[in-house]
Amino acid sequence: MKRKVLSIVICLCMVFAVACSKDKTTSGSGTTNKEKKSETETSTNTKNQAKSKTSKVYLITMDQMDQHWVNVDAGCRKAVGELSNIDYEWLAPDVKDDAKQIECINNAVAGGANVILLAANGPDAVTSALKEAEAAGVKIIYVDSAAAYPAIQTLATDNEAAGKTAGEEMVKGLKAAGKTEGKIGIVNVNSATASCVAREKGFRSAFEGTSFELLETQYGEGDAAKSKDIAANYITSGCVGLFGANEGSTVGIGIAIQEAGDTVIGVGFDKSDTILELINGGHLLCTMAQNPDVMGYEGMKTAAKAIAGEDTGEANIDTGVTALTKN
């Protein structure tokens, strides 16, 4: 009896804790009381949409922990601060997962969203959820990664182009070091996340026509420590160049190169304190810094325009990458 009571109490605590962390991060599994409340809200919402004072905008990203999304969220908040009458909410699953992201989309719709800013985990999995959302009157804007479904606007890095640029930078760097052939190792996140897959595609395309050998990609889940082990193994195999497809992977290859004595050229993605340190220390050649805050800021501005019925501009906005090298 005591056991059962305690199990129930613990479960309630977990639900409560999840509900409490509403302000910054809300897990994809949602909370029961929120859904109950919003069911009555949705019906009143659609009635008052034209006349309502506040509009609900949801940001749905791939997970909550990658710094990239935290920066997108920061961009959104900045815009919300400058706009008025926006009720803003950030939803994301705890791990990169298509099914969990669909749940988030559904929760946003049930919560009375007017606009959803979405960073789609994969291009196809979420399309039916988006169809339903649109049918419920929700407007869709893509940030960082688009899905294969028409939306108002996509604000993203052209991942494939950015990957190609990264590859070209590496070829340049290798030539400068006097190497025209050798093995190249790729540390990616997983085989499903569209943005990373596109980056790898772009990277590989930059090596067509060269005499470099691109090895079988290894996946480190974006975990810096795992990526470091993978990179170290690549270095032991005699790789002359390494590519990291996201922030965690890039940190991993950077510290591996640092430990091995900087004889390897490393190119990565995303920007963070540690990555900048690694570049300045000469352990990484450069990183493709995206502009997640721009995605969030401009995306929110577009959302406000869409709500007000104004012209939202181009369908595709390339938020650009900057190749950050040693300054």
Partner 1 sequence: MDKIGKQNRIKRILAVRGMGQVITVTIGLIILCIVFSIVNPIFFSGKNIANLLRQIAPILIIGIGQSYVLITGNIDLSIGSVIGMSCMISATMMTKGVNPWAAVFVTFICCLAAGVLNGELVSRCKLPPFIATLGTMTIARGIAQIVNNNYNTGSIGEAAKGFRNFFYYGKTAGIYNAIWITIVLWIVFNFLLSKTRTGRHIYAIGSNVDAARLSGVNVHSTTIKVYVVSAICACTVGLMTCATTGMGTMDAGNGYEMYAVAASVIGGVSTLGGQGILLGTVVGASIWGVLQNGLQFAGAPVAIRNITIGIIVVVSVLLDVVVRTGKHRKKAN
- Confirm if 297 and 150 have CB atoms less than 8 A apart: no
Query: Quick one: 25 or 45, whose CB is closer to partner 1?
Result: 25
- The H-or-E segment that residue 90 falls in is strand 86-92
Q: What angle do CA 323, 194, 93 make, to 5 degrees?
A: 105
- Sorted by sequence, the CB contacts under 8 Å of residue 22 that are 6+ apart come out as none
Virtual torsion, Cα 278, 199, 169, 241, nearest 10 deg: 60
Distance CA 191, CA 226 (A): 16
Among residues 29, 274, 322, 325, which is the contact residue for partner 1, using CB under 8 A? 274
310 binds partner 1 (CB under 8 A): no
Query: Quick one: 83 or 214, whose CB is closer to partner 1?
Result: 214
Among residues 29, 52, 67, 127, which is the contact residue for partner 1, using CB under 8 A? 67
Q: Which of 305, 292, 294 is nearest to 86 (CA)?
A: 305
87 binds partner 1 (CB under 8 A): no
25 binds partner 1 (CB under 8 A): yes
Distance CA 271, CA 125 (A): 28
Among residues 28, 252, 268, 292, which is the contact residue for partner 1, using CB under 8 A? 252
Among residues 88, 212, 219, 243, which is the contact residue for partner 1, using CB under 8 A? 219
Kindly tell me the sign of the dihedral angle through the C-alpha atoms of 218, 261, 278, 201. negative
29 binds partner 1 (CB under 8 A): no
Among residues 41, 87, 158, 223, which is the contact residue for partner 1, using CB under 8 A? 223
Among residues 51, 53, 84, 216, which is the contact residue for partner 1, using CB under 8 A? 216
Residues binding partner 1 (CB under 8 A): 2-3, 6-7, 10, 14, 17, 21, 24-25, 64-65, 67, 70, 95, 191, 215-219, 221-225, 228-230, 232-234, 236-238, 248, 251-252, 255, 259, 272-274, 277
